[in-house]
A and B are shown apart, each in its own frame.
Chain A
């Protein structure tokens, strides 16, 4: 199993451009998550999904969109990129609920995004 894969690894965008960060998992996990990690800051949840066709906002959803048409894929769309979106983006997945008695998360390798 490849686990959680993310593409691209690194991207430079100009202000106002758009792009899609790809995330795929081959573990048949129901739950998928997008986080961003800013320098010196903790990870923050952008969006998450509990199954195909179901998505919900996290802590910092503004400027992003997601879709979940299949169990495997959870792309993150940036519209009108801004310098504040410069960050490292991590996708993660889990088979089930990550609370007590539940599952841990598996993380992708991250996408480093620079918006100039």
Chain B
């Protein structure tokens, strides 16, 4: 079993829909990162969370430390949001810099 599991693996939606991507992990963590990988391959860091909720534009990330679960929400989705969204955790026990990544969720927003 992977330490970081994302669901769904693939998601297709229509423009304007509310999107939720889930991330579950099995170890104690110091922080959780959400990243976006563009169709061209470039990777951008979206959020880093250790508790609660963060919002940036139409993106909202939440984390529940007790349940070992995080969600990434996109409101009013747009075709330019089409990308692979990656969850990564920083395990508390494995050393400060060793992120463990999920396999990613491929999101396609159709116009």
Chain A positions within 8 Å of B, measured between CB atoms, are 31, 33, 40-45, 48, 50, 56, 58-59, 88, 90, 92, 97-107, 109-110
Contacts and interface: CB of A to CB of B under 8 A. Distances in A.
A99 B98 contact: no
B42 interface: yes
The dominant DSSP class at the A interface is: loop
B63 to A, nearest CB: 11
Contacts of B100: 42, 59
A41 B4 CA distance: 12
B97 A33 contact: yes
A90 B30 contact: no
B45 interface: yes
B41 A88 contact: yes
Interface of B: 2, 4, 30-31, 33, 35, 41-45, 47-48, 50, 86, 88, 90, 95-104
A90 B98 contact: no
Contact of A106 (B31, B45, B103, B104): B45
The dominant DSSP class at the B interface is: strand
Given A92-B43, A104-B45, A109-B42, 9 more contacts: A31-B97, A42-B4, A43-B86, A98-B48, A99-B50, A103-B48, A106-B45, A107-B43, A107-B45
Contacts of A88: 41
25 contacts: A33-B97, A42-B88, A42-B100, A42-B103, A43-B86, A43-B99, A45-B99, A59-B98, A92-B43, A98-B48, A98-B99, A99-B30, A99-B31, A99-B50, A99-B90, A99-B96, A100-B30, A100-B50, A102-B31, A102-B48, A107-B35, A107-B42, A107-B43, A109-B42, A110-B43
